[in-house]
Structure 1
């Protein structure tokens, strides 16, 4: 498969930024016109209900291609699904397909295409397709269940950084046919928008009704939207822009963080409650978007300090602009305190390696190759994740890890502090959206809904770690630091470094040994790699005070099922 070229990466970002600034706002709006030419296949075969909007949909994608530098081939012939033919396309759009549309050989070719990095766009009835093909079900994210009559509803946009939704407001009222799905895709996909079931009749999924989402699957990229039933949809400029964003994402022309996201607390999504401004600079706050204004300053979250956490936020530079995200600094009314005592994760892409996008400013350059491959250019939104575990910081840009830094400066600490957004100076017009955080600390719950507990809240080495009724005390608050779990600054440890079944678990000074390393499995177990065994409640005894141990991993055993808060 031909790999798409990325736009304006690396040192070219400075040139692109200068050009966009010189050309003005219209050039920023048309930044995607610089996409490398690519090919898109639109597939609209039906073996069930046939939507009369299919011709309008094909024409809409053709129009988008003409305007945005991609060529469209439309077909209903499943014979197009061969390895050699699919290799010519960066993305395949399933446009209102229904029923079983590919045979086993064709399915195999498409699976290989996705595993090779291909892109998939599913529109509306793409979720009403191939119910007996498990790979396809995972790729699309969820299958159709039912729908009410066509009516107006409110789409609530949760992610306004993805290229398919960054042009939308927080609420998007429109008329379409609204699907209910058999399962909720949130655990495996990144949900971009949901339906407000109170705004229409016939929704069956409740308060969390995903409508549009994206995901990575088997090295491929997937985007799905439940909209697109009606002919009128394809004349709607906002919906066309959504289709374009989905195509650009899946074709590799625009980056986005499409990892599943759960458990985050909003710090800013329109309200600045809890935030304080220092310095002469300021931020405007319009349409749930913060924009820097004026001189040097810092908008910092003064309501709370944070320890181990995952901080996510969306940002955009209109041109050659400068800003940064500060972490790990003490409370102060002086914006320079964050500079002198904390760490800045840089946004400006035009400076030296240790002071450019993804760098820990002045301390550590990002992996520039990884950064260049993940960075959207000026005029497009990007997403940061700053993952802080003790003194260890990892920086993710649009879901790709681009920096790995450990603090060794005794005058600074990442383990506790505030977070803030920099206003660098007049003319540096950086925008921020959707600042959210997830604490990597809290109770670990297991058998009978009880908690992993440090006996009597003691801190001495060798204190047993037990199962106990959850009570919210410090003895049950664990933080995740790398592959360790910590309470009272000490580690969850296997006594004596033993590896045999029924070896007991204790609290012990962190020492980096294999007895203190744990892998979090998707099946709910906590596995110790050194022993190959899992954290276990011996004998399934759920009584308070049962000391935990390790035992052969049995993912279906309730004795080894643990729910983490992070």
Structure 2
């Protein structure tokens, strides 16, 4: 069906023309409780081998790496080998002209190969053709520089390209840039690692990822950062991976800086598999790693009253946690509520069940902590017999003093013999007055310590086991069996996997569940609202104009009085609040409007009327209801998802509002229920701002001349990933 083109609107509501999509882009009306989508066009693709040949589009750029010459030769050689192996003639179209990216031409190809491409690559029509080709069943293979973005690159202007490659790098260790490093195959049984040496040390340029792709791709080869030094991602550090994108396939390796790499047997083995997969000749499971299985023991601390924290894990026989002394509750957890440990007497703690982790050979412990103060040797998690130095234990402590300050550490001690510790060098530790996620995994003799989703230390020669520690009746949060200072602060969401060591991407997934930015608006005084989220460096929000406080959905809320744009009645959010967000994010808040003028803003993240992300009510003078809009700098098009006439926030009652985005798909939820979906957003949060900088971020305000929001806003949260429907429901129900 056709999408109407709207005539210019009055100046305060801005002149907006809806983008008119080709017939294959269908806009569906959005109604409550249904998922309406705008589908991307698909090309009619020939399955590999259907036309009796192996057809490859080999795309390169000659102005970034001289090694494009050797990379292309390797692709030609490997395509010839695959043609012989599968009894197919080979047809390679080799070009650096993006004009080859048309729907008609791509429909004849089994795979596209990007050999050392860089910069901005395509125009809008070429981007659309590539996306339709991949989503419709085509294959992509990328090498090294295709994942690099310093200055402006295709990643910055084309969210789908970022998704296609899987990650973006803006740096790597220097001096020297090319250095020896160890790479290894985490799953030697995977079809795309067959013939690839399980572990090898080789020289290359080792990209760091702006956002670690491990949770979203199937990692085929990892880099061991400790082998070359200076890496910024920790473990896991994917270096070669594959993905499934709708019906299409993607394979990428960050290795291959120097031309000599492409004559290595190691590189050619992985590249041959990657080309076979991209072309559809070799089947493989390229789904991302599954999230952690059901948690055996989990204390969410959502009770908020009494002295018992229930075990909501799958092992119900392992009982509840008990608050002791004057330990209490807080509504300001990283995920909903938390326990509040006051420090002082060691009687102020949380008592965990006896014999937790007894005889466990492989296990994981993860939890969130927000210390108010820090002291030497303070335990956050302790399993032991309560006898201190004469007894046995496993515990995780802050500010350990092994040889000077050694910071965060995990320690094991049997009833006889010395302690064995895992800690970072240089020192890493939890930080006071902000949320920190701590995790420790034990796999046999190997223990790995994580802080905020990244591995900071590992040791492979541990000899003290949980069996050696024996029975334990003094298991606590917030204290240990010594006389060390009790923990002072908040602890939330303690998880114990009693028989499995999570991998790095699973630990990262646990960390990512925390809100990066959170304004609870519980101050109820002054003009500053503190950020209690995991990214403490993104500071406080400021109440401006006549904005004040009122009773909220939870505690207090900000009271925005509306008014003209000139009133400045809004909440000013910090500059660059979206820093680090690219193809995934989510926002969540509660809103209670008194009135809803046309185009009234609830949230803006942006820099001006030329670039922004907006959540608004009364869009298109109310004819299209509630909406989410993106605009990239210098591009006149505004890209929207709207709910339709009459689909907006109700007046004088609280509504929980969530917007999520993953790649090109955006979703709007009210009160835990999905209201609308758009699947072909051409831009996203990574395109907002000027050079990634935003300086006009508001709750209840905007850079436009529209009226300010009139009503209450409470509990604003910003996440660096797409919330699942279940997570949204839990937020609405108050469980997170």
Structure holding more helix per residue:
1
- The TM-score, its normalising length taken from structure 1, stands at 0.45
